[in-house]
Amino acid sequence: MAKINTAVLQKMKQQAEKITMLTAYDASFAKLFAEQGVEILLVGDSLGMVLQGHSDTLPVTINDIAYHTRSVRAGAADAFVIADMPFMSYGTLEQTLQNVMPLMQAGANMVKLEGGEFLLPTIKALTERGVPVCGHLGLTPQSVHVFGGFKVQGKSNEQADSILTQAQALQAAGIQLLVLECIPTALAKRITDALTIPVIGIGAGNVTDGQVLVMHDIMGISSGYIPKFSKNYLQQTGEIRSAISTFVSEVKSGIFPAAEHSFN
């Protein structure tokens, strides 16, 4: 796979070529995913649940993310690696700048922040200092206690308009990628059409510019349950490499996500 960067991802959006993203936490799986054509590897704070066994992502630290980012980069030199900024690691600008450094030094191409308009000054400061930023709207897992659980966001007209407005503001502030999680498909299309940057969906229908899933979910090995928006590709194919290549193929062709993986 050729080296992936923000220019490549932007061109993929312009040419309506779907982008694939998977979470990755170690060198072996990062190498395998890149070999099967996955463009973006996300070192997600989801590691708190799937690796560390917590009930949510809140206990994850910057050191945790930096360690796994370094491992992922070692396995996939040409992949585009995004590192999550964990809970309360970007509460102030000074704190953000201090915490971004070990992630970028570990090999991240971009950092991901959850939230809307309160992040605008932070995003501007990061991009001015050469740190690419990915936004994350909709169901933001770090705010799970505010939402009262893992619930679909943007179902009312007021909520939907607010999320769209926030997405536009984040883009204006300088984000170069946006993740939309657990929102109605119609809203995801409004946002994807309104933005010039690539929009990656998870539980947002097949109308976005790409899809991201948690690797443990597509292999059916997550503890607890498999989310509605995911699919057990390992069960479907019976072999890990085939599971990943099928995920890539189905995203590229628009087969995944289907209606049963989406929210109205």
**Annotation-wise, does 114 bind a ligand?**
yes
First to last CA, the chain: 36
- The residue written with tokens 């890539």 in the block is 248
**Annotation-wise, does 45 bind a ligand?**
yes
**Annotation-wise, does 209 bind a ligand?**
no
Closest CA to 68 of 36, 26, 104: 26
**Annotation-wise, does 124 bind a ligand?**
no
- Mapped onto helix, strand or coil, the DSSP state of residue 254 is coil
Q: Measured between alpha carbons, how far is 4 from 109 in angstroms, rounded to an integer? A: 10
Q: Measured between alpha carbons, how far is 197 from 171 in angstroms, rounded to an integer? A: 7
Eight-state DSSP code of residue 114:
E
Handedness of CA 246, 248, 252, 256 (dihedral sign): positive
Which of the following is catalytic: 181, 239, 250, 260? Answer: 181
Residues contacting residue 140 through CB under 8 Å, at least 6 positions apart: 114, 115, 181
- The residue written with tokens 């050469």 in the block is 130
Kindly state the tokens that stand for 92: 């102030």
**Annotation-wise, does 26 bind a ligand?**
no
Largest CA distance in the chain: 48
What distances in angstroms separate CA 224 from CA 23, 53, 89, 139, 220, one per listed residue? 18, 10, 27, 19, 10
Let me know if 181 is a catalytic residue: yes
The annotation places the binding site at: 45-46, 84, 112, 114
The annotation places the binding site for Mg(2+) at: 45, 84, 114
Which residue numbers are catalytic?
A: 181
The annotation places the binding site for 3-methyl-2-oxobutanoate at: 45-46, 84, 112
